[in-house]
Amino acid sequence: MGTTITALLASIGQSKAAKRTVISHSIFNITGAIVFACLIRPFAAFITYISPSGNEVDVIARQIANAHNPLENLSMQQLNAMYDGQYKQWTDLSK
């Protein structure tokens, strides 16, 4: 969320294209944070389930690695879904 505020501040006095980019960035980050907040417990349980047991340091490292790939895939799916349809209209500043 920190990059969202930085981008908003950087867009002050910039072109419509820059503001459109900031709006896109903000919508993507905010919706991603809301979705992740709703799914954190089931996601953590799933990652714990698929990760091996053993030494705590090794298990934590493996859980981080196991969590990274699904999160990246989900964020790409979110971006693809948002890019189609309503998302284009929200970021259109020509109106």
| 41 within 8 A of 47, measured Cβ to Cβ | no
CB 76 within 8 A of CB 84: no
pTM: 0.59
Q: Classify each residue of 36-71 as buried b or exposed e, where b means 16 or more C-beta atoms within 10 Å of its C-beta.
A: eeeeeeeeeeebeeebeeeeeeeeeebbeebbeeee
pLDDT of residue 94: 62
> Is residue 86 within 8 Å of 24, Cβ to Cβ?
no
With a cut of 70, which residues of the chain have pLDDT below it?
A: 1, 82-95
Task: State residue 91 phi and psi, 5-degree precision.
Answer: -95, 5
**Whole-number pLDDT of residue 42:** 93
Q: What is the reported pLDDT for 41? A: 93
Q: What is the distance between the alpha carbons of residues 72 and 67, in angstroms, rounded to a whole number?
A: 9
The confidence score (pLDDT) of residue 88 equals 66
